[in-house]
């Protein structure tokens, strides 16, 4: 996920057609990886392949951001797609793990409900762009992804010892998700109030 600096670079490149980039292609691939992962989790099949695909899902988030920064391929489309791919993927995988009986229902509910509240707030407040990723937000995402990966790896007989640590990591990640979500909600409300103040211009 990109921070405020990368977003500023993308705003400067707004006038050019910059949607066809390698980072955006990787982000789209991340969308498609979610489908087989969820199918295998719900049906409780292909544990090894599921773990590999989930690892690819998590690593792709780092790879597309690295390429975007390294080769100056940050784009408006990427700024919108990257957090959507992250959140949609994590929510879908968490729900699939709940459906498969691998994690407690409350974890899936917390992740889903928090993201739904933020999504509704984003559209209700009519913000021009999603909030920039914070350091705590990045840590939250990494923690949840690590927990999901451990639980998925724990489905493999030889790696079953990862399952219990994965559950506890998800406990911490879900609770931190609430804290981070509340912070993003406050930020969005502040941005909306600033944009609506008389005599002040809306941020690009």
Determine the Cα–Cα distance for residues 94 and 119; give it in Å rounded to an integer: 17
Among 101, 107, 179, 102, smallest CA distance to 137 is for: 179
**Quick check: is 109 in a domain?**
yes
Predicted local distance difference test score (pLDDT) of residue 39: 97
CB atoms within 10 A of CB 107: 24
Range of the domain at 16: 4-196
User: Does the predicted TM-score (pTM) go above 0.75?
Assistant: yes
Residue 60 domain flag = yes
pLDDT tens, residue order, the chain (204 aa): 555 555 555 555 544 456 778 889 999 999 999 999 999 999 999 999 999 999 999 999 889 888 888 888 888 787 788 888 899 999 999 999 999 999 999 999 999 999 999 999 988 998 877 788 899 999 999 999 999 999 999 999 999 999 999 999 999 999 999 999 999 999 999 988 887 765 544 444
Q: Is residue 204 part of a domain?
A: no
Domain of 170: which CATH number?
A: 1.20.120.1760
- Asked whether residue 202 is assigned to any structural domain, the reply reads no
Write the DSSP assignment of 157-189 as a string of letters: GGGGGGHHHHHHHHHHHHHHHHHHHHHHHHHHH
Contact criterion met (CB below 8 Å) for 54 and 93: yes
Residue 203 lies in a domain: no
Question: Is residue 138 in some structural domain?
Answer: yes
Q: What is the tally of structural domains in the chain?
A: 1
């Amino acid at each position: 996920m990109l921070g405020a600096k990368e977003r500023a670079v993308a705003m400067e490149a707004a006038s050019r057609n910059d949607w066809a980039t390698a980072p955006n292609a990787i982000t789209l691939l991340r969308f498609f990886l979610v489908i087989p992962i969820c199918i295998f989790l719900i049906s409780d099949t292909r544990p090894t392949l599921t773990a590999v695909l989930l690892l690819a899902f998590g690593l792709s988030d780092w790879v597309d951001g690295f390429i975007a920064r390294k080769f100056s391929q940050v784009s408006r489309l990427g700024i919108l797609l990257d957090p959507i791919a992250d959140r949609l993927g994590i929510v879908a995988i968490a729900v699939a793990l709940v459906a498969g009986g691998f994690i407690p229902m409350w974890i899936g509910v917390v992740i889903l409900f928090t993201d739904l509240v933020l999504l509704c707030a984003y559209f209700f407040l009519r913000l021009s762009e999603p909030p920039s990723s914070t350091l705590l937000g990045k840590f939250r995402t990494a923690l949840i992804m690590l927990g999901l990966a451990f639980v998925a790896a724990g489905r493999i007989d030889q790696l079953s010892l990862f399952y219990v640590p994965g559950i506890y990591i998800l406990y911490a990640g879900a609770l931190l998700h609430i804290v981070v979500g509340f912070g993003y909600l406050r930020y969005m409300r502040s941005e909306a109030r600033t944009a609506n103040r008389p005599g002040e211009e809306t941020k690009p």
